[in-house]
Structures are given as structure tokens and as C-alpha cells.
Amino acid sequence: MSTGVFKNQESLSPDFPIEMYWDEIPHRTNQINMLRNFYGDILEKKGKSFLRRLQIIGPSGSGKTCTLKFFGNEFESKAKALGVNLKHVYMNLKFEGGRRVIFYRNLVRKIEPRLVSASFSAEEMLRSLVSYLQDEQRFILLTIDEIDYFVRHFKKEGIVYDLTRLNELSNRPCGVVGVTFLARGKEFHDLLDSAELSSLGRTFVEFKPYSSSQVFDILEGRVEEAFNRGVCSDETLRFIADVTASRKINGDLRYALDLLLYSGVLADNQGSSRILLDHVRRVLNQISPSLTTEDVVGISDEGKIVLLAVVRSLSDDYPYTSLREIRENVGVLCEEFKLKPIENIEESIQDLWDRQVIDFRSLLEIGISGAPVKDLDKFLDGLIKRLEARIEYGTG
């Protein structure tokens, strides 16, 4: 039995698979129809189609991931009804990427774990996968998320070239019927060489930021699942929607979910039976537009420690800290959380900078991206609680 304001708090989590529970993705019908048109006739050919390449371009929190997962589930179900052995495979390069061989090992493991071999090179794993799909008459629709982050961070790994040229490994369909790349913008194109850019193609579907009315519609559905009846008024939801649709937040639905979640937590902690505008306004002073819960979840354990060290090194008097202070705090945190010492702190700082979580001006000026200096103490207090909740004692 639920207590307080929440009925199902997890439904506001960035990990919650909303695409498994909703019959549609609100305000993304046009994009889903474009996906259906682009990939639809593959099923008419019983999957025996050469690989197609598509790009999904849209800012953070514009519904790219849940829309592609929704479409992937739908496509997989239609294939099954037609007797086509097809599976949708979703890969997030922030979580499952890294070096080329690690990424392919993770990919192959999702398709057929028996094919995974620690002795195989990246090329051998790809060839083994294609041979398996062809021999077994199996087909894969592949979604690759965060390709722009990966290209910035691991430019020389050549994954774009590999995945878009799978047809060249054989003179017949490779078994991978489509690869859809998700990115926040097209700027990563500038980091690709001419061969990669050519094989990637120019076909893309655009996801524009959500408007205030669209955010309101989506949050209405989330409120029904997350809260008890009467907890969140339309007035409160409209305020959250307006804040989310502002130029600064740019319609990032992840931010709206964070704002709704932490406002609910605050209301619960104060013993209130409703989420008031005052709760939302107070939470607004503690979260940053540039750092959502999903961003925190996606950071490695070592990265979370380094980020927490950055946070604890900052003060409300100055928005930056030094690498030396961060090192000292990393040591303290490793003892506090009973972790092994972190040797390559610079690598974690580079990753946090690539993720646009921190600002790096010099070794003496490292800060949190987008953190309001005026309310930095409130923001840092909220971020520390979120980070500490995500770090497991005794790991490492």
C-alpha cells in the first residue's frame, strides 16, 4: 500500500521503461510514422533486405530514446506475427561503449551470448555475428544511442564506419536490417572522415524540443502513474511545463521529471499531502539545467566519485576549484566509501567534460556546468545528496 504522495515513485526515474506501458509516445506520432515508412517494407521482404542507415537528431530530453525503443518493440512484434525472426537491439554508447572490441562484445552478447570470445578481435566478432545471422536466418534492427558522445570521446575507434559497411562483409544481406544512430546534434559529423560521413548517409529524422503544452500532456500521464490522486494540481504541472519549455531548459523532459520527482520528495518530507508551487520553486534552486538524474546514472562509479569530489571542493564564494583540491577530496571519498584508490583522475575529469557535466578552464579552474553561482550552496547540497545516493558502499 502506498504512503505519502507517491503511488509509484519509480515511474519518474530515467530508467523507467515507459515504452512498455504506454500505447503511444505523446507528440512523437510523426516521427514514429517516419520510422515505419523507412523500415516498414523490410518485413514484407521477410527481413531479407540490405542494411539501411538512419540518424535521429534532437536535443536532450526530446524523446529520442523512448520513441526508438517503442518503435523497436512494435517492429519486433510485427515481425513475430509475420514469422520473421527479428530482434530489436538497443545499445547506449555511454554505458556500453568504450573501446571497439568492448562495444562489439557487448553487442554480440545481447544477440547470442555463445558467440562471445575473449580471444576474438573486433573484426572477428563482427564477421562471426554476420555469419551466425545469415546461417540462422535471424535479423537485427540496431539502435545506437549517444553516437555523438562516442565520436567525441573515441574518435579513432571507427564504429560508424564498421556498422554502416556491414553489407560489404558478404555479397548477400548481412542480417542487420537497419542501424539507427541517435545524436543531440549534427556537430559530430565534423569529427568524421569523408568515408565515415559518406557511409553514414544524410537521411535523418528530427526531434524538436517539447513545447510547454506538450510537456504538460506528457507529465499528466506520468502523474497518474507516480502519485496518488489529487497530489499534483494542473496549476503546478503548468508551472513545471513552462519552466521546462523555457529557452534555458529547451524542453528537456528529463529535467521536468527530475523537478516533479524532487518536488514530490520534498512534499513527502514535509508531511504535505500535495505538491505545492512553493515545493517546486524550492527544488528549482537545487537542481541545474545541465545535470539531470539520468546524467548522474550514466557516469561510471569512478566518475561519480570524481564528480562528488568536484562538488565538495566548490564553495558559494567561487565557482571553480583546482585539480589539487579535487585529488585530495577523491582520496577522502575513497576512504569514506571504502573504495580502492582512483589512479587516473584526469581520465574521469576528461569524461565528465566530454559529457558537458563540468567546466574545465584550466588545472586551477574546474567547476560544474551551468551551476547558478548565486545559489550554488543550495545546488551543491542537492547534487551531493543525489550523488551519494548513486554510489554504492564497498564497490571497486
Locate cell 558502499: which residue? 393
pLDDT 10s digits, 364-373: 888 876 554 4
Across the chain, the runs of DSSP E, i.e. the strands, are 52-57, 86-92, 139-145, 176-183, 204-206, 358-362, 365-368
pLDDT for the residue 189: 96
DSSP-assigned states of every residue in 238-261: HHHHHHHTSTTTTT-HHHHHHHHH
- Domain 28-206: which CATH number of 3.40.190.10, 3.40.50.300, 3.50.50.60, 3.30.70.270: 3.40.50.300
Task: Provide the grid cell at 208.
Answer: 524538436
Task: Give the dihedral of Cα atoms 147, 150, 155, 157; nearest 10 deg.
Answer: -90
CATH no. of 293-390: 1.10.10.10
Compute the distance between CA of residue 286 and CA of residue 387 in angstroms, rounded to an integer. Answer: 13
User: What pTM was estimated for this model as a whole?
Assistant: 0.79
- Among 150-154, 247-251, 307-311, 389-393, which is the least confidently predicted range? 389-393
Asked if 189 contacts 197 with a C-beta cutoff of 8 angstroms, the reply is: yes
- Decide if pLDDT at 375 tops 70: no
- Decide if pLDDT at 14 tops 80: no
- Decide if pLDDT at 394 tops 50: no
- Decide if pLDDT at 336 tops 90: no
Every domain of the chain and the residues it spans: 9-13+210-284, 28-206, 293-390
pLDDT 10s digits, 85-110: 999 999 999 888 778 899 999 999 99
Considering the domain delimited by 9-13+210-284, tell me its CATH architecture.
Orthogonal Bundle (1.10)
Do 9-13+210-284 and 293-390 come out as alike in CATH topology?
no
Instruction: Report the candidate in 336, 353, 345 with the shortest Cα–Cα distance to residue 388.
Output: 336
